Amino acid sequence: MENWLYDEFRHSSVDYADPEQVAVYDERHQRFRNYKKSAEAIMAYLKLEPEAMVIDLGAGTGAFTLNAAPYYWMVYAVDVSEAI
């Protein structure tokens, strides 16, 4: 890769490909975030039918994806992190 090109896959902080780091992140955020409530607010705003195909871009640890999956025909989680 040319050294002047930005490497968007380079980790700039915590490595969320590590399952232990993901668990720490989710545990920490659950103290001040309600993932279920946030997902429900987004779904209510979008007013999608159950037959909808939803794409969660920048899915991170999958909090929205996991909460939305029971309500839609298909939910895709897309993130730059490698699948584990």
23-71 pLDDT per residue, tens: 888 889 889 989 999 999 999 999 999 999 999 998 888 899 999 999 9
Residue 42 contacts residue 72 (beta carbons within 8 Å): no
Domains of the chain, by residue range, sit at 19-78
Gyration radius (Cα) of the chain, Å: 15
pLDDT at residue 83, as a whole number: 62
pLDDT at residue 1, as a whole number: 53
Query: Residue 82: CB partners within 8 Å, gap ≥ 6?
Result: 17
| Other beta carbons less than 10 A from residue 68's beta carbon | 21
The C-alpha angle with vertex 25 and arms to 23 and 28, in degrees rounded to 5, equals 105
Residue 10 has pLDDT above 80, yes or no: no
- Provide the token pair at 66: 């996991």
* pTM for the structure as a whole: 0.70
pLDDT at residue 4, as a whole number: 76
